[in-house]
Structure 1
Amino acid sequence: MSNLAVKTNQQRKKRNRGLFIALGLGCIACLSATAGAILAVSLHEYKPLQKVALTSQEQQVFNNEKTVRGIAQLDRPVNIVVLGVKVLTSDLEEPPEVDLGYHAVVDSFEGVSDVILLLRFNPRQQKLTVLSIPRDTKTYIPGHGVAKVNAANEEGGAPLAAQAISDLLGGVKIDRYIRINVQGVEKLIDALGGVTVYVPQDMQYTDHSQRLYIDLKQGTQHLNGGQALDFIRFRHDSFGDIGRVQRQQLILRALTEKASNPEIVFKSPQIINIVQSHIDTNLTVDELIALSTFASQINRMNLEMVMLPGEFNGDGRTDISYWLPNYDSIEQLMAEHFDQGYARVEYEDPRNLKIAIQDSTQNPEAVAALVLRLRRAGYQQVYVSRDWGERLPATRIIAQTGNDASAIALRADLGLGEVLVESTGVFGSDITIILGRDWQQQLNQATLSKHNQ
């Protein structure tokens, strides 16, 4: 075991982390085209976007091919690594001169990355793909050995993190990076007026050492920046970091829909100040305009959010807890969603698909009817999971592992539902169906038709 791995594990025990603070990119990238233009003009006049200069060798980690043509248009697909960093006073080698009496957040980019995302802006397919990489992923960090991937930024900044991520993903090209700290995410969400999400359970947690007090109630809630971070950082559920990945994706989708509001243009001055103060990136201003314009035109169906395939190695009680990558599945995922290599064309037998059902209708008969319908259609591994408390008007068909073809085929079998490619469904399923009122309405219509015959 490397010293770096041991060091990282010890740090994890001391920190209440899990802040998927790369959500700030969702705020930035989802600006309207007009807001992006205003942002660009202002940034040209003030602070540079890049806070840390890169050496010529570090610059070679990134693909320097041209990304923009004309006015605010992407010339090709662009891959961006996003690192969310949180540094506390207790993490510093030299303690602050004044003892605050608790572990305060420091305005810094030089720490482990609690959030690691790879974004692909693809103008050819008009898609935005988000790959979430669990922070505990076991991988090789060049020059430092085997460790958790989140240690790369602390050891060598964005270039080393980008190189480690590229290696983990089969050599995918990384074009740019963005690093954002926790203060920036909270302020960006506040600048957007907060976000509305469904909180699936009551969440209470107290850590006096960080002055962290989480108190969220189950149900649909409108969260400010601090509450949104509390929603993501909450750690007392069944799946640890994977649960935080799921909540991160829920917030990202909510931010996408929130930021499409034209009124965001009037909040540009606040956003400009936040970007200048809390983000480090090698994106140019022209690239930022192009990304903002592209993201503003992406519809709900073309935002895809997937998670690095893998499995837990244990509960962390007797050894270091890792997320172990499944390299065969990673290869397939990168081919399908990042044009990296060649995807295997395989027929997915419905009998092999694990289908989880979550009921939002509070109607057991409707659930039983769905199970019967699926099994008659050839889906044999169907099971009912915990209810979804939010009452949904339309059924959601979630491609949990990123297999949108199978989800689309299932939708055709049911004749209803919205297909979403994201990892917010039941962990361990291939597809999760969250049953909505439209299924109940379909059943009622079928019953009425029989009576009229």
Structure 2
Amino acid sequence: MVLGSKMMVVRFLGESKVMFIILAIMGIVIGGGIRFYSLLNPDVDVVRASLVNEKDEFLNVLFVGIDSVEGSHRADVIMLITFDLKGKRVRVLSIPRDTRVRIPNRGWTKINHAYAYGGIDLLKETLREFIGLDVDHYITLDYKGFVRLVDLIGGVELYVEKNMRYKDKWAGFYINLNKGYQKLDGEKALQYVRFRNDPEGDIGRIRRQKKFLEAVFNKLSKEEVVKKLPSLALEAIKFVKTDFTPEQIFYLLSLFKNISLNQIKWFMVPGKPDLIDGVSYWLPDLDRLNLVLKSSFKEDRFVFEDERTITVEVLNGNGVYGGAASVARILEGYGYRIVRIGNADRFDYSITRVIDNTGEKVAIARKITEILGYGVFSSERKESQADITIILGKDMRR
């Protein structure tokens, strides 16, 4: 690549650093500066038509993180990224890898098995049946590439919220992170975004992935890192597989280069964890999911926005180990923000209580009671760190 084109790549990617997180770090930037001169002024109508149907405003992109580090080649991270081409907004739908779905010709199992069974085509077909949306394009990123890209930008600074430990001697994969603010290199960053061996499971894992991407954004805003973006793009070629063309990539970058983080909305497939025949699954709430998909781009209002601002504390009032964490995971799947998990003042509550502490959100307390399928709700105005307090009783069903 000649110096002139490299400088234009630097300037272009610097202006588009928010989208670079979505497109480059998540695997989409292939081609780097290759043919960059010819892509500066592409035929916009032709490129757009090659992306989506002319009447369609949305572009659905499937992003898959592959755990070939463990030799299984399963889809360890699955995200469906929807670009609103007219409204200049982005929706990221995270799909827990243990989500129970029907894989064509394979039956009911975890969605991450689809890639191992039949590659990207079978995963796309499974998603089409699961959520009723066609995938327009795909990107896969090998975790070796993830490690390399993080190292190339000099690591990422963030606060690790807890000690994280995990050993898989058979796969040769280990997680050993200490709580506290620190710089994570590529290997440590991979450990952080993959950790899920705590009561939060996939919900906590997805939240950490979002937190990590925000930390990447902060790093990319630094001038010394912006200068490395062309090299980062070129390095990504080695680890990324996609059906995007370079023209389409630069068209998207130009279209979304001024997007801000508040125009990127994150959702997770709502549902709850459960065991079926001794196997742990994430059981999706399809009615709730359909509302997310139908409403998330309407009138600039995102479904469940009220719930997403509600703070909840879950207290163990029955003495069942792990019960509060299990309920918290369920409610986080529905969009509620858990601010505390702990013990109640005693362990002999017979009936679960869902309490509105504001005196104004009794409808939310009732809705949470309906989600749980047990307990009673009430409303009383009192000082509390949470809008809603849940005290679990002996009637709790797991």
Q: TM-score, normalised by structure 1?
A: 0.57
Match of 2:294?
Answer: 335
In 2: Cα distance, 1:324 partner to 1:125 partner: 32
In 2: Cα distance, 1:260 partner to 1:293 partner: 18
Contact persistence 1:40–1:288 (CA under 8 A): no
Match of 2:59?
Answer: 78
Mapping of 1:28-427 within 5 angstroms? 29=23, 39-41=32-34, 65-67=49-51, 76-88=57-69, 91=72, 111-169=73-131, 171-314=132-275, 319-337=278-296, 355-356=312-313, 358=339, 375-378=358-361
In 1: Cα distance, 2:245 partner to 2:192 partner: 32
Contact persistence 2:60–2:134 (CA under 8 A): yes
Q: CA RMSD in A?
A: 4.0
Matched to 2:215, the amino acid is A
Alpha carbons of structure 1 residues 236 and 147: separation in structure 2 relative to 1, 3 Å: closer
Q: Aligned residue pairs: how many?
A: 297
Q: CA deviation at 1:273?
A: 3.4
Q: TM-score, normalised by structure 2?
A: 0.64
Contact persistence 2:100–2:111 (CA under 8 A): yes
Contact persistence 1:197–1:222 (CA under 8 A): yes
In 2: Cα distance, 1:349 partner to 1:156 partner: 37
Which sections of structure 1, spanning at least 5 residues, go unmatched?
A: 1-24, 46-63, 70-74, 92-110, 360-371, 383-424, 430-453
Contact persistence 1:42–1:272 (CA under 8 A): no
1:220 alignment partner, SS class: strand
- Alpha-carbon displacement from aligned partner over 1:372-407 (angstroms, at most 9, x marks no partner): 99614446868xxxxxxxxxxxxxxxxxxxxxxxxx
In 1: Cα distance, 2:125 partner to 2:259 partner: 29
Match of 1:20?
Answer: none
Matched to 1:375, the amino acid is T
Q: Larger RCO: Structure 1 or Structure 2 (Cα < 8 Å, ≥ 6 residues apart)?
A: 1
Alpha carbons of structure 1 residues 76 and 374: separation in structure 2 relative to 1, 3 Å: same
In 1: Cα distance, 2:137 partner to 2:278 partner: 35
- Alpha-carbon displacement from aligned partner over 1:235-271 (angstroms, at most 9, x marks no partner): 3311222221121111122223333445444213432
Q: CA deviation at 1:275?
A: 1.8
Matched to 2:220, the amino acid is A
In 2: Cα distance, 1:349 partner to 1:78 partner: 27
Contact persistence 1:68–1:286 (CA under 8 A): no
In 1: Cα distance, 2:207 partner to 2:305 partner: 28
- Alpha-carbon displacement from aligned partner over 1:48-69 (angstroms, at most 9, x marks no partner): xxxxxxxxxxxxxxxx953389
Which sections of structure 2, spanning at least 5 residues, go unmatched?
A: 1-18, 39-47, 314-337, 341-354, 366-385, 391-398
In 1: Cα distance, 2:213 partner to 2:51 partner: 24
- Alpha-carbon displacement from aligned partner over 1:335-373 (angstroms, at most 9, x marks no partner): 12267xxx99999799x96645638xxxxxxxxxxxx99
Matched to 2:229, the amino acid is S
- Alpha-carbon displacement from aligned partner over 1:410-444 (angstroms, at most 9, x marks no partner): xxxxxxxxxxxxxxx99x99xxxxxxxxxxxxxxx
Contact persistence 1:134–1:241 (CA under 8 A): yes
Alpha carbons of structure 1 residues 345 and 80: separation in structure 2 relative to 1, 3 Å: closer
In 1: Cα distance, 2:57 partner to 2:130 partner: 23
Contact persistence 1:196–1:220 (CA under 8 A): yes
In 1: Cα distance, 2:81 partner to 2:21 partner: 14
Contact persistence 1:30–1:296 (CA under 8 A): no
Matched to 1:82, the amino acid is F
In 1: Cα distance, 2:223 partner to 2:125 partner: 37
Contact persistence 2:33–2:234 (CA under 8 A): no
2:280 alignment partner, SS class: coil
